[in-house]
Amino acid sequence: MKPAFSVIFLTTLIGAAQGLFLALFTAQSYVLFGLLPQQNEHTFYAHGSLVALVFLTGGLLASFFHLGRPERAWRSAAKWRTSWLSREVIVLPAFMGAIFLYGLAHLGGWKLVLATLESGVVIDASVVLGAIGTILAFALFVCTAMIYASLPFLREWHSPLTVINTILLGGASGFSLAATFAASGAPELMRFFAAWAFIITLLGLVSRSASLARNRRLKPKSTVQTAIGIKHPQIVQKSSGFLGGAFNTREFFHGKSPSVLRSVKWGFLLAAFVLPALMLAAGLWANVPEALPLAFAVQYPGLLAERWFFFAQANHPQNIYYQAVT
Amino acid sequence: MTQLALVIDLNVCVGCHACVTNCKQWNTSGSAGPLADFNPYGADPTGTFFNRVQTFEVGKYPNTQTVHFPKSCLHCEEPPCVPVCPTGASYKRADDGIVLVDYDKCIGCKYCSWACPYGAREFDESRRVMTKCTLCVDRIYDTALAENERKPACVLACPTSARIFGDIHDPDSPVSVAIRESAGYPLMPEWGTYPSNHYLPRRKTALHIHKDELQRADNPLKIDGLLPKPAKSEPSLDDVMSW
């Protein structure tokens, strides 16, 4: 497939925003249950929500560049019963709304107590909004991933690993973004975010490597024999039926050499996983606290490369019909 | 239930591209707007087509067959492109099974083209929407046309009658008979899309002659020649008759 940059930016930006929100609410939950010391982090949560909203808006804007008719984008909420894309279109604004209210609840200092647990833990409006936001964040991860994983003949994508990777990669970038952001806003939380970012980054490395290993062993189900229905081991396409280019020769080919593909693969494994993990580890355990906020700056470009490779590696069966461009 | 479809006979297709040009002519002249053509006389022309004829060489020289292979939307009975459409612009008509795009609803997200394993959909760069073969839905029901002209443009153009049009759910239609009696097959059956369009395979008329058929075993001329010649001492016919 041809990597679509609008979609690459959409996925990575909203993934980081979802992860960032999950990081904020994780920290709040820890504080709520007394696992982290109580401090006045309300402005930090409010500002963090704003950063997440900025990332989500950026992703939303990028997605419009993918459309031929962006002015009709509102129509895309219609078929949520069958289309994962439609579901994503519904969940994304709902998630943005939840974050907005969550940030507002912290900014306005709403202390509306909705319930008190037996242990004395007070559940206020921001906790409920955060829980709703968490559910929506995971729903959005699933919708985004299922857009790809639900297409059976794009076999590189058609795997539960696609969903797991989306969640872990978004989570990893979100927690490192939270660590970067906490460096200025709430330094006491920086190590907490960085430790989680380190763990999720390593988990992401494992699951992404698993999907790379899976894709390497894939055998194509469709062949030129099934594509034209002729049983013969030797079939060569002599003509695609036209001299120039066409949608079919542009949309489904990345047009790069195998060596470029290989370098991007090793590049993203380094930049999205190995280097940020090393920087986070250095910051956490080797007394180099300056490395922590920089991890996201390395990881985000790495994730852009990861998405590029995700597209480029997928081999669409229609390409069988376009082996010869003459 | 009706399922309109094309049956394409690879045995008689000569790869003349008449179906391609007639398809383009009809569909670029309709009320839905022209099919884009960019740089048509330049170095790198590109444009939207609903139908293409590709050419494959089967086998190794000198035992090769050239197969011309027309390809357009197969109007699948389980079209994977339809449920993925977020707007409902891509739909399958309940009354005749034609898969269509509502150009006024399409947002041009191209997701349906990703979801079609056959590459049957083409994004039109000037209208900015997804386009595809309509089975000439604006022709086949047009009562202003003579009845024998209410067929897709590609079918009318084919000089060798390699394209048959009809309802594959009607067991007595020419398309169903052709599929049944001439071994019609669908493309990429492995994806469970149940394409409505079928292809008829290349057929070679071969005469098998066994070795023992090369010589007539009961040839009377040969039988005579094989009879043992009597020796000189054997009684001749005269001896037999003179008793």
Q: Minimal CA–CA distance to A147: which of A157, A133, A161, A137?
A: A157
From the CA of A319, how many Å to the nearest CA of chain B?
Answer: 8
Confidence of residue B224 (pLDDT cuts 50, 70, 90): low
Closest residue on chain A to B187 (Cα): A227
Give the nearest partner residue to A238 out of B45, B57, B189, using CB atoms: B57
* Numbers of helices and strands, H then E, in chain A: 11, 3
Tens digits of per-residue pLDDT, A152-203?
Answer: 999 999 999 999 999 999 999 999 999 999 988 788 889 999 999 999 999 9
* Helix, coil or strand: residue A23: helix
Q: Minimal CA–CA distance to A210: which of A258, A250, A168, A246?
A: A168
From the CA of A60, how many Å to the nearest CA of chain B?
Answer: 14
The mean pLDDT value of chain A amounts to 93
* DSSP for B172-189, written as a single string: TSHHHHHHHHTT-B-S-G
ipTM: 0.92
- Is the pLDDT at B227 greater than 70? The verdict is no
Ramachandran assignment for B121, one of left (phi > 0), alpha (psi -120 to 50 degrees), beta (any other): beta
Find out whether B35 and B27 touch, Cβ atoms under 8 Å: yes
pLDDT of amino acid B243: 56
Q: Is B105 on the interface with A (CB under 8 A)?
A: yes
- Is the pLDDT at A37 greater than 90? The verdict is no
Confidence of residue A138 (pLDDT cuts 50, 70, 90): very high
From the CA of B84, how many Å to the nearest CA of chain A?
Answer: 4
Annotate B29-83 with three-state secondary structure: CCCCCCCCEECCCCCCCEECCCEEEEEEEEEECCEEEEEEEEEECCCCCCCCHHH
Tens digits of per-residue pLDDT, A116-127?
Answer: 887 878 888 899
Can you tell me the distance from the alpha carbon of B47 to that of B40, in angstroms, rounded to the nearest whole number? 8
Overall size of chain A counted in residues: 326
Tens digits of per-residue pLDDT, B2-36?
Answer: 999 999 999 999 999 999 999 999 999 988 889 99
Q: Which residues of A touch B200 (CB under 8 A)?
A: none
CB contact under 8 A, A224 and B56: yes
CB contact under 8 A, B109 and A232: no
Q: Is B30 on the interface with A (CB under 8 A)?
A: no
In Å, how far are A34, A49, A206 from A31, measured between CA atoms? Answer: 5, 17, 30
Task: Reply yes or no: is the peptide bond before residue B62 cis, omega within 30 of 0.
Answer: yes
Q: Which residues of B touch A229 (CB under 8 A)?
A: 185-187, 199, 201
List domains and CATH numbers for chain A.
5-322 (1.20.1630)
Give the nearest partner residue to B86 out of A69, A76, A226, using CB atoms: A76
Can you tell me the distance from the alpha carbon of A214 to that of A13, in angstroms, rounded to the nearest whole number? 26
Closest residue on chain A to B36 (Cα): A246
Place of tokens 């990893």: A172
Q: What's the mean pLDDT in A231-249?
A: 91
Return all residues near A300 (Cβ < 8 A) that are at least 6 apart: A12, A16, A173, A177
From the CA of B34, how many Å to the nearest CA of chain A?
Answer: 16
- Is the pLDDT at A323 greater than 90? The verdict is no
Overall size of chain B counted in residues: 243
Tens digits of per-residue pLDDT, A285-298?
Answer: 888 888 888 999 99
* Per-domain residue ranges of chain B: 4-200, 214-241
- The model's pTM is 0.90
Class of domain B4-200: alpha beta
- Is the pLDDT at A326 greater than 50? The verdict is no
Structure tokens at B50: 């609903």
Q: Is B107 on the interface with A (CB under 8 A)?
A: yes
Q: Which residues of A touch B202 (CB under 8 A)?
A: 230
Q: Please give the radius of gyration of chain A, using alpha carbons only, rounded to the nearest integer.
A: 22
Report the DSSP beta bridge partners of residue B63: B60
Can you tell me the distance from the alpha carbon of A181 to that of A185, in angstroms, rounded to the nearest whole number? 6
